[in-house]
Amino acid sequence: MKKLISAPYLVWMAVFVVVPLIMVAYFAFFANGHFTLDYVANVSQYANIFIRSIWLAAIATVICLIISYPVAVILTEADANYQGTLLMIVMLPMWMNFLLRTYAWMTILGNNGILNQLFGLFGLGPFKLLNTRGAVVLGMVYNYLPFMLLPIYNVMAKIDRSVLEAAQDLGCNRGRVIAKVVFPLSLPGVMSGITMVFVPAISTFIISRMLGGGGNLLIGDLIEMQFLGNSYNPNLGAAISLVLMIIVLLIMTLMNQFDADDRPLI
């Protein structure tokens, strides 16, 4: 009886998760009912977009890691009474709709935007900030920073305090404790943080459209263009989606090598 109770779920997942993915594969390989490798082969035409997306997403991931690791350390070291509140304050912007957050940067980075006005006060600029790759990376960092911070913090918060104290008793200073004890123990968090930032960053189409000016296409833009945008071609779109899925799968397997325990969730 207990097994039957999960039947609706199993059917649901089969129909709405597995079948759709099979359909993506079908569209990628079959046009009008005939098998063809054309579309998948055509994807190589857009190799530069893939390289660009991977590159920008990788930069954004590294920056997220560099920014959020110290924050996680500081949070775990803070007074236990305030940790929850501090974490809430850091996470709060994430609850805003991400389109609105990205839109905010549009207004800040413009040629006449606030940042350039600020530079203007010192007689600098105006700099071209909006519609550049830098802006796209900034958008990714801003939007996905919490995805990096939270898993790292979660893992760190679980580290047994006595282990750290033991290390200190054995003569480690703070830096060495972090490097020799905290960092290795926090690796699973870092790894899941990396995938949680990298995957959405590589496949975004809103950030690149709003902050990249339409000239810096990413994989997401390319897929969107084939389905609802200016060059309708669902077969090609499905082929690109398939390649994207494989890239993500590869990265996941790579990162999973580091994961011993269950990955912490959000």
Partner 1 sequence: MKKTSVLSKIYLLLVMLFLYVPIFVLIVFSFNTTKSHSHMSGFTFDWYVKLFHNELILSSLLNTIIVAVAASICATILGTAAAVGINSMKKLPKAITLNVNNIPIINPEIVTGVSMMLLFVFFAARMNFEFGFGTLIIAHITFNVPYVILNIMPKFRQMNPNIYEAAQDLGCSPAQAFFKVVLPEIMPGILSGLMMSFTFSLDDFVVSYFTNGSRAQTLPITIYSMTRRKISPEINALSTIIFIIVILVLVTKNIYERKTAVKKGVKL
Partner 2 sequence: MKKYLSLFFAFVISAVTVCGCSHIEDDSPASEETGDANEEMTLSVDNPDYYKALYGQNITINVYNWGEYISDGSDGLLDVNAEFTKLTGIKVNYTTYATNEELYAKLKGGGSSYDVIIPSDYMISRMISEDMLEKIDFQNIPNVKNIMDKFKNAEYDPDMEYSVPYTWGTVGIIYDNTVVEEENIGWDILWNEDYAGRILMFDNPRDAFAIAQNLLGYSLNSEDPEELKRAAEKLTEQKKVVQAYVMDEIFDKMGAGEAIIAPYYAGDARTLMDEYDNLSFAIPDSGTNLFFDAMCVPKGAKNKRAAEMYINFMCEPDIAYSTTEYIGYSTPNRAAFDMLDEDERQDKIAYPDDGFLKEKTEVFKNLSNEANQQMQDLWTDMKSAEEQTQNRIIMPVFMLLCILLSVTVITRRHIKAKKDIF
State which residue, 133 or 241, has the beta carbon closest to partner 1. Answer: 241
20 interface partner picked from partner 1, partner 2, none, CB below 5 to 8 A per type: partner 1
- Which of partner 1, partner 2, none is residue 55 near (CB under 5 to 8 Å by kind)? partner 2
Between 84 and 214, CB nearer to partner 2: 214
Q: Out of 47, 51, 89, 166, name the contact with partner 1 by CB under 8 A.
A: 89
Residue 36: which of partner 2, partner 1, none does it interact with, CB under 5 to 8 A by kind?
none
Binding site for partner 2 (CB under 8 A): 45-46, 48-49, 51, 54-55, 58, 110-112, 128, 130-131, 213-215, 217, 222, 225, 227-234, 254, 257-258
Q: Both tokens of residue 224?
A: 């969107």
Contact 219, 9 (CB under 8 A): no
How far apart are the C-alpha atoms of 168 and 191, rounded to whole Å?
Answer: 26
Q: Please tell me whether residue 254 binds partner 1 under the rule CB under 8 A.
A: no
Alpha helices in the chain (DSSP H): 7-13, 19-29, 38-43, 47-77, 80-91, 98-109, 114-121, 133-158, 161-169, 174-177, 183-203, 206-212, 219-227, 234-256
CB of 111 to partner 2, least distance (A): 5
| Residue whose CB is less far from partner 1, 190 or 207 | 207
In whole angstroms, what is the distance from residue 197 CA to residue 1 CA?
40
Residues 116-135 that bind partner 1 (CB under 8 A): 117
Q: Is 2 in the site for partner 1 (CB under 8 A)?
A: yes
CB of 44 to partner 1, least distance (A): 19
Q: How big is the site for partner 1, counted in residues (CB under 8 A)?
A: 87
Sort residue 32 into left (φ over 0), alpha (ψ -120 to 50) or beta. Answer: left
Structural tokens at position 13: 């997942």
DSSP labels for 173-221?
-HHHHIIIIIHHHHHHHHHHHHHHHHHHHHH-SHHHHHHHTTSS--HHH
